[in-house]
């Protein structure tokens, strides 16, 4: 009989980022107090699931988001480097859509290719490493459920890859809110469905940075 497995890919909660920089892979960026509550809400949203495996990006905010889920099921938090945030040339800088940074001629050479893209890790590379991480989680939890904690762009790129859509996209149209779950349903090795939920939506509505979070 073909096993049915679910791999939930969870975006971390809100990050403490008073300087509003694109933090990317920089160390030291932890969850805000509200972000900690978001992580707890995500754990509550999974309380009735059959979670057998929890793994996260090595970055602090992802590890923190995984902790209440792992504790709830009596599991350790594994680390999978393939779940890490995407590399980005603008890391450490204060940039966001609409602030003029992308109209600055000094940045144009970095922005020359939106399809690959030229300013960071290739979408194809992100998609392939993320799917490999999900496949490892599926195997670890075969017949049950797994949780992988990652970051907005990698999660959205993974979803578009699985849905066989073009990988370059408008960042403003990503369906991947803070502490949201993108759930991949497998029958054997085949993805047969994708679900999306926001167990921390009531907290996201309280976040002044929810729509402009940098280095998500």
Question: Residue 170 belongs to a domain with what CATH number?
Answer: 3.40.50.1240
pTM for this prediction: 0.92
Instruction: Give yes or no for a contact between 30 and 64, defined as CB atoms under 8 angstroms apart.
Output: yes
pLDDT at 99: 55
Predicted pLDDT at 211:
46
213 is a domain residue: no
149-172 mean pLDDT: 96
pLDDT at site 210: 59
Reported as a pLDDT band with limits 50, 70 and 90, residue 208 is confident
Answer whether residue 94 is part of any domain.
no
3-state helix, strand, coil in the chain (%, to 5): 35, 20, 50
Say how many C-beta atoms besides its own lie within 10 A of residue 2's C-beta.
11
pLDDT in tens, 136-160: 999 999 999 999 999 999 999 999 9
- pLDDT of 213 reads 46
Going by C-alpha positions, the residue among 210, 201, 207 that lies closest to residue 44 is 201
Q: Name every residue whose Cβ is closer than 8 Å to that of residue 163 and which is 6 or more positions away in sequence.
A: 194
- Selection from 18-27, 165-174, 191-200, 203-212 with the highest mean pLDDT: 191-200
Helix (H) or strand (E) segment spanning residue 147: strand 145-150
Statement: residue 215 has pLDDT above 60: no
- Of the candidates 45, 9, 39, the one whose C-alpha atom is nearest the C-alpha of residue 141 is 9
Q: Please give the Cα distance from 48 to 50 (Å, whole number).
A: 7
How many angstroms separate the CA atoms of 96 and 107, rounded? Answer: 13
The whole-angstrom separation of Cα 133 and Cα 129 is: 6
Q: What is the mean pLDDT of the chain?
A: 92
Per-residue pLDDT at 212 exceeds 50 = no
Read off the tokens for 4: 């049915």
Could you give phi then psi for residue 186, rounded to 5 degrees? -110, 145
Examine residue 56 and state whether it is found in any structural domain, yes or no. yes
Q: Give the residue with greater pLDDT, 208 vs 190.
A: 190
**For the chain, how big is the Rg over CA atoms in Å?**
17
Could you give the 3-state DSSP secondary structure of residue 58? coil
pLDDT at 170 over 70: yes
Evaluate whether residue 60 is within a structural domain: yes
SS3 category, 46: coil
Structural domain harbouring 188: 4-16+31-85+122-204
The percentage of residues in the chain with a pLDDT greater than 70, rounded to a whole number, is: 93
pLDDT of residue 134: 98
Q: Judge whether 189 lies within some domain.
A: yes
Identify whether 80 is part of a domain. yes
Residue 116 belongs to some domain of the structure: no
d(CA 184, CA 194): 5
Instruction: State residue 25's pLDDT score.
Output: 96
87, two tokens: 């590399």
Looking at residue 216, its pLDDT comes to 66
- Any domain includes 53: yes
As a whole number of angstroms, the distance between CA 213 and CA 216 comes to: 6
For the chain, the domain total comes to: 1
CA-wise closest residue to 163 among 131, 121, 117, 115: 131
């Amino acid at each position: 009989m073909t096993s049915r497995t679910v791999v939930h890919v969870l975006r971390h909660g809100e990050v403490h980022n008073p300087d509003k920089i694109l933090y990317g892979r920089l160390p030291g960026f932890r969850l805000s107090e509200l972000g900690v509550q978001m992580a707890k809400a995500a754990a509550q949203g999974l309380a009735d699931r059959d979670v057998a495996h929890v793994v996260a990006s090595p970055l602090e905010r992802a590890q923190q988001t995984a902790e209440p889920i792992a504790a709830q099921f009596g599991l350790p938090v594994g680390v999978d480097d393939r779940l890490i945030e995407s590399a980005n040339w603008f890391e450490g800088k204060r940039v966001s859509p609409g602030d003029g940074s992308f109209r600055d001629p000094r940045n144009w050479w970095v922005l020359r290719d939106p399809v690959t893209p030229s300013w960071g890790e290739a979408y194809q590379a992100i998609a392939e490493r993320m799917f490999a991480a999900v496949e490892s989680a599926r195997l670890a939890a075969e017949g049950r459920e797994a949780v992988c904690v990652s970051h907005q762009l990698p999660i959205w790129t993974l979803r578009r890859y699985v849905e066989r859509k073009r990988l370059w996209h408008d960042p403003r149209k990503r369906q991947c809110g803070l502490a949201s779950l993108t759930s991949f349903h497998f029958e054997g090795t085949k993805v047969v469905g994708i679900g999306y939920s926001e167990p921390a939506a009531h907290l996201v509505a309280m976040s002044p940075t929810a729509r402009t979070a940098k280095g998500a």
